[in-house]
């Protein structure tokens, strides 16, 4: 069975992303993340492409690390080309590199900053002001992902 959510992130953020994965799974969302079981470079590429093709939503965990990752840019491009729903989740205040701006233009984002992980405290905002702090409204980050995977919009 294909996972509902594919999480794209910078490898240096693995520990931070594990918290998000745990919360999503506890909320009943199936998640694909490059944890274990992928052997060899060719298999790795094939597994990633397959997982993106079969997911409902790509969560793009945005940080300084992921903004510099060529693999994250490739995963975002694959999801965009396949017209997947993309949910940018900022795990720290970060400027978006030009290599990602086109695919993310006008897409709502979720802020999942450290210390602000509680769904009632996380905020959602349109992603139209990348360089400045957003004027976010209250939202529920996990519920946003859960709703999108089930075909609902926040």
Question: pLDDT per residue over 69-102, tens digit each?
Answer: 999 999 999 999 999 999 999 999 999 889 999 9
| Both tokens assigned to 82 | 């396949």
Q: Does domain 5-149 have CATH number 3.20.20.80?
A: no
Report the percentage of the chain scoring pLDDT > 70: 69
Contact between 144 and 87 (Cβ < 8 Å): yes
Average pLDDT of span 108-116:
81
The dihedral over CA atoms of 44, 49, 50, 54, expressed in degrees to the nearest 10, equals 140
pTM value is 0.76
Give the sheet arrangement for strand 5-8, strand by strand: 31-32, 5-8, 57-62, 85-90, 108-111, 123-126, 137-138
The structural domains of the chain, with segments of one domain joined by +, span: 5-149
Instruction: State the pLDDT at residue 130.
Output: 35
Tell me: pLDDT of 10 over 80. Answer: yes
- pLDDT tens digits along 125-139: 444 333 333 333 223
Q: How confident is the model at residue 44 (pLDDT cuts 50, 70, 90)?
A: confident
């Amino acid at each position: 069975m294909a996972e509902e959510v594919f999480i794209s992130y910078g490898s240096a953020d693995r520990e931070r992303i594990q918290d998000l994965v745990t919360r999503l799974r506890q909320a009943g969302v199936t998640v694909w993340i490059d944890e274990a079981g992928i052997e060899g470079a060719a298999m790795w590429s094939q597994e990633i492409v397959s997982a993106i093709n079969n997911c409902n939503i790509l969560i793009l965990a945005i940080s300084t690390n992921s903004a510099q990752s060529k693999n994250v840019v490739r995963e975002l491009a694959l999801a965009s080309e396949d017209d997947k729903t993309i949910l940018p989740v900022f795990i720290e205040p970060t400027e978006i590199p030009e290599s990602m701006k086109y695919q993310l233009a006008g897409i709502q984002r979720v802020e999942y900053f450290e210390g602000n992980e509680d769904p009632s405290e996380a905020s959602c905002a349109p992603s139209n002001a990348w360089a400045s702090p957003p004027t976010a409204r209250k939202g529920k980050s996990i519920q946003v992902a859960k709703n999108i995977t089930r075909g609902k919009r926040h």
